[in-house]
Homo-oligomer: A and B are copies of this chain.
């Protein structure tokens, strides 16, 4: 009897519809404006049906997040295959990583827990400037001492800032998902290597 199978298939369809609706809604309006009720309306079912497929909203987002990781991995795998030279491979990997992030910003934000509603976009220029001045000052002094190219100061600062913030935010948001190794000692090593290379 194929009845049970048809039912299972239908159930699977509803589940897929939930994820698909959540995805496209997030892509259009961002995660903040995604609600269970809107999903229910989109899939033309009532709200409790959603809870038959997912324990709660977080479970839906978790699933989509995992889908994001799978998609990213696929892109990275494709990129790696484009060359046999490891240097080219690494460049292609970084390239694919960047492209994935900015072609699927909603996915990326979900995957790394980015996106508290209120970060005051456009209203923090002075704050960031004050911070960059401090860092660039020290970097320029080191460059001068080493007689390296002073033009690089700004670029070097941005690289250092990125690595600091990246490391911190990965450890802060994903501590329980990553290997130990990533910690303060690692940051010290990175900073030392950075200085050595100025």
Question: Which residues of A line the B interface, CB within 8 A?
Answer: 31, 57-58, 61-62, 65-66, 69-70, 72-73, 76-77, 80, 86-87, 89-91, 93-95, 97-98, 101-102, 105, 108-125, 127-128, 130-132, 134-135, 137-139, 141-142, 145, 154-155, 158-170, 172-179, 181-182, 184, 186-193, 195, 197
A109 touches B172 (CB 8 A): yes
- When distances are taken between beta carbons in the complex, the residues of chain B under 8 Å from A122 are 176-177
A131 to B69, Cβ gap below 8 A? yes
7 closest A-B pairs by beta carbon, nearest first, are: A166-B166, A86-B141, A162-B166, A113-B119, A69-B127, A122-B176, A162-B167
- B134 near A98 with CB under 8 A, answer no
A162 smallest CB distance to B (angstroms): 4
Nearest CB to that of A129 among chain B residues? B179
Cα-based distance from A111 to B164 in the complex (angstroms): 14
Distance, CA A163 to CA B187, complexed state (A): 11
A182 vs B115: C-alpha distance when bound (angstroms): 19
